[in-house]
Amino acid sequence: MQILSQSGRIRTTDCDRYAWSVIYAEGLSVAVDGEILLPVTTFGVDQGETLVVTGPNGSGKTTLLRVLAGLQRPTGGEVCIAGAPVSEREASFRARVAALIGMPALARDFTLEEHLIMVAASWHASSAEKTAQNLLIEFGIAHLARRFPHEISSGQTQLFNLALTLARDFEVLLLDEPEQRLDADRLETVSGALQERKAQGATLVVATHHSGFTQSLADETLLLNP
């Protein structure tokens, strides 16, 4: 992994230069109406590594994830994923990058299992039903399979949202505070699930306030300051 910093030059995007790194950002920044949402930041993440992004509220953690997911346009610098510019409009980009940033859109009249099957089938899982069952078991919510999203607790909802994010194939996984509303046992479950994806070759960027979560996952950390 490359040296992490909050300084860098603004250049025209040329992702061929960064083919050695799965994610590379140089001089990346976001400002809206004169307010800095993401300070100038440079970092790189290699395949199978986890970058944990820390910092106080308002430091730009969520904004950074939104830029990497193609949901927010940077106002300075450049960012490349898998040797290509970030572009939510490109099918190849969407196929590579999965993200949980905020609450996902859910259908009130679909059960948890039906949601998982729908997502897995949409991304060409070889067995959507088996994928759904395995995720329900992995996150300890198999007993909730036939419940609707409005019938489960906040902690169970967080586990389900994470399962829903992992129901598809991806190369890059972006997570904004996945530890929210989880007790120690469930944190261990989530950490184990993410370690497994990392072992399979996925590259992770995780924003968190939780020091234990950081220690269990991080290959490198990026501290943002407002």
Q: What residue segments make up the domains of the chain, in order of their start?
A: 15-223
CATH architecture for residues 15-223: 3-Layer(aba) Sandwich (3.40)
**Which H/E stretch holds residue 7?**
none
Quote the pLDDT of residue 222: 97
Classify the C-alpha dihedral 24-223-173-86 as positive or negative: negative
Residue at token pair 């261990």: 188
For the cut 70, the answer to whether the pLDDT of residue 97 exceeds it is yes
Quote the pLDDT of residue 87: 92
Report whether 30 contacts 60 (CB < 8 A).
Answer: yes
Quote the pLDDT of residue 63: 98
Give me 54's structure tokens.
């820390």
Q: What is the mean pLDDT of residues 161-187?
A: 96
Q: What is the mean pLDDT of the chain?
A: 91
DSSP string of 80-102, one letter each residue:
EETTEE--TT-HHHHHHEEEE-S
Q: What is the mean pLDDT of residues 110-135?
A: 94
Quote the pLDDT of residue 16: 72
Quote the pLDDT of residue 5: 42
Q: What is the pTM of this model?
A: 0.91
Percent of the chain with pLDDT over 90: 86
Of residues 1 and 184, the one with the higher pLDDT is 184
Q: How confident is the model at residue 23 (pLDDT cuts 50, 70, 90)?
A: very high
Provide the 3-class DSSP secondary structure of residue 137.
helix
Percent of the chain with pLDDT over 70: 92
Distance separating alpha carbons of residues 72 and 66, to the nearest angstrom? 5
Q: What is the mean pLDDT of residues 71-99?
A: 94
Classify the C-alpha dihedral 154-134-99-182 as positive or negative: positive
